[in-house]
Amino acid sequence: MVTGKAGKSGFGSASTAEDVTHSIDAKHLTAIITGGTSGIGLEAARVLGMRGAHVIIAARNTKAANESKEMILEMYPNARIDCLQLDLSSIKSVRSFVHQFLALNFPLNILINNAGVMFCPFQLTEDGVESQFATNHIGHFLLTNLLLDKMKSSSKESGIEGRIVNLSSIAHTYTYTEGIMFDGINDPDRYSDKKAYGQSKLANLLHSNALSRKLQEEGVNITINSVHPGLVTTNLFRHSGLGMSVFKAMSFFLWKNIPQGAATTCYVALHPDLKGVTGKYFADCNVTTPSDFATDISLADKLWDFSTKLIDSLP
């Protein structure tokens, strides 16, 4: 990571999103990117739009989403960019977004679950779920499940492989003792802002692996993989304190810029070399090994059941 040396894929930590998508024609693809208004989400939206994909920016802040759309169109007047409102912390909003998207009758080839919050003080969402778990995992879990039929039909009709990309993080290794604290998700007394974030990123990985197995069992032409974008300075760090500032100052040589941070996302979403590759964890555009918790099949199945029951219990 420090040297930027390329791995087996031909790319490494110094590669940018433009580098890894060079010469790729994505005009036949439609992609949804959550949180595509800033940081690596915006960069992914820009690069996919530049490569010709029809990009739907799904974001809580519609003003910011439209500003992002205009910025991309100023750079690439022929780009196809649309915006739809989506608050991943709200089950109602997720369902509304899916309803609006399906009404547009667009195909769906790529889903990039990019949005997230990090190191938040303890708070419950409108649905009564701890905010990091709700936004980073539950919202994306429901969004993905509700869009699966559209992805399946798009793949079947076009013959094009569908791809789902879950933004996880190396932070998935720093979580609660049991991995997922099922009996204490909403317990303020046991809450740690950093472990709760790690828990949510572990949940992203477990979700990817469980869904990958289900899709393979069905024989569906859709892949799902997780990515660690690297250490990237974005507005995710707005809740971090002095300790993180000191860490960033001491580890400056490990940090990526935003074009480098979006590279792994764009590589996994678009690169032809990854056709048929599913259930993997990528960092610096190469497959890498996640934690033992992340590869625990029983934990993944337990999380799937827990998430489904949690969503079903909400109005």
What are the residue numbers of the active site? 191
Please report the beta strands in 134-249, taking only residues with DSSP state E, as ranges in sequence order: 162-167, 222-228
CA distance 152 to 143: 14
| 25 class by beta-carbon count within 10 Å (0-12 exposed, 13-18 middle, 19+ buried) | exposed
CA distance 132 to 190: 14
89, 139 contact by CB (below 8 A):
yes
Q: How far is CA 113 from CA 17, 42, 158, 186, 206, in A?
A: 17, 13, 22, 23, 14
Amino acid at position 195, single letter? K
Buried b (16+ CB within 10 A) or exposed e, 67-106: ebbeebeeeeeebbbbbbebbbbbbebbeebbeebeeeee
CA distance 283 to 231: 11
